[in-house]
Structure 1
């Protein structure tokens, strides 16, 4: 039997359609609750949703991402289905296909729909080409930016989702970077409200900015840190660890001793893992990894054999070949250093020497 589902519906001024959407999805198999996120509505959206049986929460900050992030956090169950609030006619029974497509290793199920009045310009002209170039493992999806999908929030740092229209893509990329499968099922014909060109223009700008921001992050470069203890890891690699985890990439840390402090700082990220140094030789990259990057302290020369992807090896200390800006990782690195009783003056970058390139 599949786990129960929380349905979240971000809504802003959708009083005309929200009651129908709520009433319809709450009758789906496996749906345990429906949560409507009132995203600053000026009409009766919240009242209509509540009357239809939804739990209503408020998110005053404008932006689809803020609403989704709030709704995912408020959901009672890890499997979360996100549904649009402006749906007109749709084939309810086909939505159940998303729940049925869950299987071991699947982290997200996209609902591929068709609307005879929507030529899907965003998908054809922007999203699909960008995915084929940057994330080819997702390049064959028919509806990659569909706003109707089901995912396992326990696999991603959902508190870090982007606050704008690109949030649906962010969920998908994070699930992919965590090593889980993205499936797609046909949910039939759906009629949305008509969109004007200005709407598409704003969406395109936010989505393009999102893709450009993800390009330098190397989401599919899995990082392995090998160090004598957590002090060495925090001092030399703490910023890289933090930045990768915030972006959604997977990071494994192998230590000779200790690790509780790193766990306290980074343990809330689903893509973080720590293990004893002796287990490093058996490390295997996740299913979607494009590259394995091993970062080790000097003198710790145990490599990770048998990788099925290209492997880079970096070392800390000594002459530096690669400077890595800390950017978003500064705060978490400082938190780790403070817990360890070490100086918290953090330079703007961490530097590494390239030992081998795959």
Structure 2
């Protein structure tokens, strides 16, 4: 196992050179990482990684580590996202799995989506937050391989589940008479197996690599998905990631929704003004559910696009690292926004579904089982989502 060189930290309060060195080192680190760069905390052997706004010697956590005040703020934001995400996703899964009236095909997909988000929040978010608190990789070679693998699996589960939800809405609205050839459990299992398979190369090639910064001639060890042997590796990695986990799935979802929109418009035009109330209610329910899935897709697209754009930018400017403060802030915001996507879905569903919001309150407040059964018997005919 490759071990990081020992970091001798020198604290230089308020030193502009120290600020620049810290920022350059962090940005060089970001330039060799994957999208979301969960595997990019590094160790320095130069002793020049100092706190941007200065710290006192007694503020050291360990002889090898220092407290970085902006890092504490960033880590606190991560902590808030983790807590909110845990509460929201666990409650969503409890609601969809324990409430009989909520056990529908779309809600099984949503439970799978929530499980993937939980996996990301529990394992990867704390690792990503730690990179702002300490200046060395804490998780060894095993962690270097497992963390990127888990992250990519979670991202795959998210985007492929949204694609599966869109396909399910397409069949329910455009081709309601077609018989589903596979159960929802089989489809969800297939999504997880596909995501795990696509994440295997990340685990194989991610490793601890030693890099040297060209502007300061400093060396550091970081977990990266490829060695620093040229610009081709990051370009291939970033483009493959962008196409497989963003462009292609969103294109497929867009095609599905074009057909869904056309079908809903036709059904509204063909429906007579005095149409059957049951049919009108069914069409309204389908529109609402299709809109909910579309909101989830939109949230994923918006939250993940900045991370993809920044990673593509770094990959195609690999030899010339942008050390500006604006680029650093944009990178941090993009990473936080991508993690935030793992906690917003339950609350988006809460605001868009009256039935879910009611059951969400019951599960969140830990309503007694007897009361839950009585409420479930009353609400068996409630339309879900």
TM-score, reference length from structure 2: 0.20
Q: Which has the larger radius of gyration?
A: 2
Q: Return the structure number with greater helix share.
A: 2
Q: Return the structure number with greater strand share.
A: 1
TM-score, reference length from structure 1: 0.21
The structure with higher relative contact order (CA 8 Å, sep 6+) is 2
